Chain A
Amino acid sequence: MPEKPAYSSAEEPQLVEWAKAGDMQAFEELVARHRDRIYVRAYSIMHNEDLAVDLSQNAWVKAWQRLEQFHGEASFPTWLSRIVTNLCLDELRRQKRARTDSIEAMEEATGPVENRMKLETVDPIEGLGRKELRERIDAALAKLSDKHRTVIVLYEFEQLEYREIAEKMDTSIGTVMSRLFYARKRLASLLKETLKRDGLIE
C-alpha cells in the first residue's frame, strides 16, 4: 500500500478509497470538507436547526456504513446529499404520522383556490445583492408547508426530475407537478410582498 500523504491535501477519490478500507481519519477529512453542504441541504428541507444538525450527523453515520455501496456513479457530495435528503424525507413522514396534518390537508383540499392564485412577476432585482435575495428566498421557503418546500428543494437544489421526486415522496408525477406549481406561485407572491414592503419594488 502506498504511503499516505497528509489527508488534507489528498484527492477526494483517494480519501474515499481509504475510508472504504476502514481509515477513520480519511473519513474525518471527508466530513470536514462537506459537513456544511450536508447541513445546508438538511436545513433547506427541514428549516429547523437542531433537526438539521441531527440529520446531518445521521447522514454521515449512514454514509460510513454504506461506503461499500458508493461506486462513484455520482460525485461523493451528491451521493451524500441523496442520503441526507432521504433521511429528511423519512423524518417528515415520521412527523406527519405523529400529528394531524390538518393545515396541509386543507391546502390539498383547497386546490382550486390555489389554482386561481395568479403567478406574480418577480424579476431579478437590481440593487439587491445575491446574498440578500437568497435570504429573502430562504425566508419565503420557511413559510411554505413541508411538502411544498420539499418539492421545491428537491427540484431546484437537489436537481431531481419530476419522476425521481415522485418516487422519493411516494406520490404521483401529477401531484409533484401540482405542488411545484403552487409552491412557485406562493414563493413569487411572498417575495413580491417582502420586496414591496422593503420599498425595492413598486
Chain B
Amino acid sequence: MNENEIELKVQALVDGELTGREAEELRARMETDAGLRELHERLTAVRGLMAGAELPRTLPESGDFHWSQILKAVEHEEQEAKRLAKPAASANWWLRWVMPLAGMVCLVLVLSLQQTTMPDLDILLGSDHELELSADEIDVMTFNTADDAMSIVWLDYAIDLQQDSLQLWLD
C-alpha cells in the first residue's frame, strides 16, 4: 500500500466510510505512526470546519417573481406535453384506420394493373401465320388470318392472375 492509499484510508476513517477489520488495522497502525495520527487530526479539523459551513443565501429575485417564472414554466411544459400528445393520438387513428385502408387500396391497384397491362409482344399481325413465343413468365401462341380479318392470341401466364390462360380476340 503506497502513501497516497494510506492517506485516503485515513480520510475514509475520518468520514466513517472505513469499518470492520480495515478500520481496526489502520487504528493500530496510527498508534505507532505519528504522521498518520497528525493527518487524522488535520482531516478531522477540516471536517469540523465544513460542518454546517454552507453560506446561507437569499434568492436574488423576489419570491413573487420566482413563483411567476415557475408557474409560467409549468404551464409551458403542460402545453408542450398536450401538444405532443395530440399528434400521437391522431397518429394512432391513422395507424388504426387509414393505414390498413391505404394498404388495401394499394393491393387492389397492384392487382388491377397487373391484370390490365399486357406485355408488349411487338408482334406484327399482317398475314396468315402462327407464331409461338416463350418468355420467362408467359407463353404466347397466335393465329392470324387476313381473310377472316381475325387474329387469335393465346396467352399462358405462369404467374397466377386468377386465370391461367387468356384468349384474346383481336380485330
Contacts and interface: CB of A to CB of B under 8 A. Distances in A.
A49 B58 contact: no
B51 interface: yes
Given A32-B63, A39-B59, A137-B49, A57 B73 contact: yes
A152 B63 contact: no
Contacts of B77: 61, 65
B60 A181 contact: no
Contact of A156 (B41, B53, B56): B53
The secondary-structure label for the interface of chain A is helix
A18 to B, nearest CB: 16
Interface residues of B, number: 37
Interface stretch (A9-17, A85-93, A100-108, A119-127): A119-127
Interface stretch (B5-13, B21-29, B89-97): B5-13
Given A135-B55, A137-B50, A31 B43 contact: no
A138 B55 contact: yes
Contacts of B114: none
Contacts of B15: 155, 162, 180
Given A155-B15, A177-B11, A184-B46, A53 B63 contact: no
Contact of B53 (A120, A121, A134, A177): A134
A121 B45 contact: yes
A61 B134 CA distance: 75
Interface of B: 3-4, 7-8, 11-12, 15, 17, 39, 41-43, 45-51, 53-61, 63, 66-67, 69-71, 73-74, 77
Interface of A: 24, 28, 31-32, 35-36, 39-41, 43-44, 49, 53, 56-58, 60-61, 64-65, 115, 119-124, 133-135, 137-138, 152-153, 155-157, 161-162, 174, 177-178, 180-181, 184, 187-188, 191
